[in-house]
Amino acid sequence: MNSKLISLFSVILAVFFAGCADQPEENSAEPVLHAVTAEWTADGVVSDGEYAQKMILSGGIFEVHWKNDAEMLYMAIKGETDGWVAIGFEPEVWMKDADMIVGWVDDGEVSALDAYSTGNYGPHPPDTDLGGTDNLLEIGGSEKDGFTVIEFKRKMDTGDKFDKAFESGQTVSMIWGVSEFDDPEERHIEAGKGELAFQ
Ligand code: HEM
């Protein structure tokens, strides 16, 4: 009887863990910390030691790499797509009031918008259309092997009301999206949310 119970229990455990293996990866992941050993360059390549932290979300459909000091934020967003990739900071609800960066590479030409979502599901016009300013100080990107990478640099506190102001030590909510189109008016095929912490 006891051995039957043990076998039954083992089967239940095996089924449980097999089930877990099939689950999609958690959308929100703990950031991984690295020593920064390489210079930041907006070349569309996430190099070893270039960023201090990274999160890989939805099994690698989206990645974010970042480092910051009190004044400046450096970030790379990488999506499994030839279309746009985007990150949004501190939405109020759904996408609304998120401070967004939407970037894409079209025939080798890199574009990135400093944008702001005015509604629950967009639109997310550039800050400049809303009376704000473009605060992306440097951008770069690449499109290779089915992945698009956008790198950018901005001030932690840009002074623009369409950018969220960040502080060292702060944790912020973030959303992300990946589209199959280069047109930022087209919606995403994948999206998710998480949290990231600044050093
Ligand atoms: C014009 C472009 C966009 C359109 C038309 C759009 C539309 C939508 C719609 C209709 C939803 C509702 C849920 C769904 O059906 O998936 C949604 C959800 C969402 N969108 Fe967008 N979106 C756009 C751009 C973006 C961008 C640039 C981001 C990231 C920076 C983003 C992040 C999200 C997230 C994270 C959700 C899910 C929110 C939640 O579950 O709380 N979207 N979007």
Ligand 1 binding pocket, CB closer than 6 Å:
86-88, 94-95, 100, 102, 121-124, 175-177, 185, 187-188, 191-193
Per-residue pLDDT at 4 exceeds 90: no
Residue nearest to atom 41 of ligand 1 (CA): 94
Instruction: Report if pTM > 0.85.
Output: yes
Ligand 1 pocket, mutate which of 111, 117, 121, 185 (most atoms under 8 A from CB): 121
CA gap 149, 147 in Å, rounded: 7
CB neighbours of residue 85 within 10 Å: 31
Q: Which of the four pLDDT bands, split at 50, 70 and 90, describes residue 32?
A: confident
CA gap 70, 136 in Å, rounded: 17
Question: What is the structure's pLDDT at 93?
Answer: 93
CA of 90 to the centre of ligand 1 (A): 14
Question: What is the structure's pLDDT at 9?
Answer: 54
Per-residue pLDDT at 189 exceeds 60: yes
CA of 8 to the centre of ligand 1 (A): 44
Question: What is the structure's pLDDT at 7?
Answer: 58
- Find the mean pLDDT for residues 15-22: 41
Give the SS3 label for residue 191: strand
Could you report the per-residue pLDDT of 94-146, keeping only the tens digit for each? 999 999 999 999 999 999 999 999 999 999 999 999 999 999 999 999 999 99
CA of 188 to the centre of ligand 1 (A): 7
Task: Give, for 64, the enclosing helix (H) or strand (E).
Answer: strand 62-68
CA gap 76, 41 in Å, rounded: 10
Give the SS3 label for residue 6: helix
- Beta-carbon contacts of 126 under 8 Å, excluding residues fewer than 6 positions away, are 113, 114, 115, 116, 134
Question: What is the structure's pLDDT at 2?
Answer: 57
Per-residue pLDDT at 6 exceeds 70: no
- Beta-carbon contacts of 129 under 8 Å, excluding residues fewer than 6 positions away, are none
Could you report the per-residue pLDDT of 39-88, keeping only the tens digit for each? 999 999 999 999 999 999 999 999 999 999 999 999 999 999 999 999 99
Question: What is the structure's pLDDT at 33?
Answer: 85
Domains of the chain in sequence order: 27-197 (2.60.40.1210)
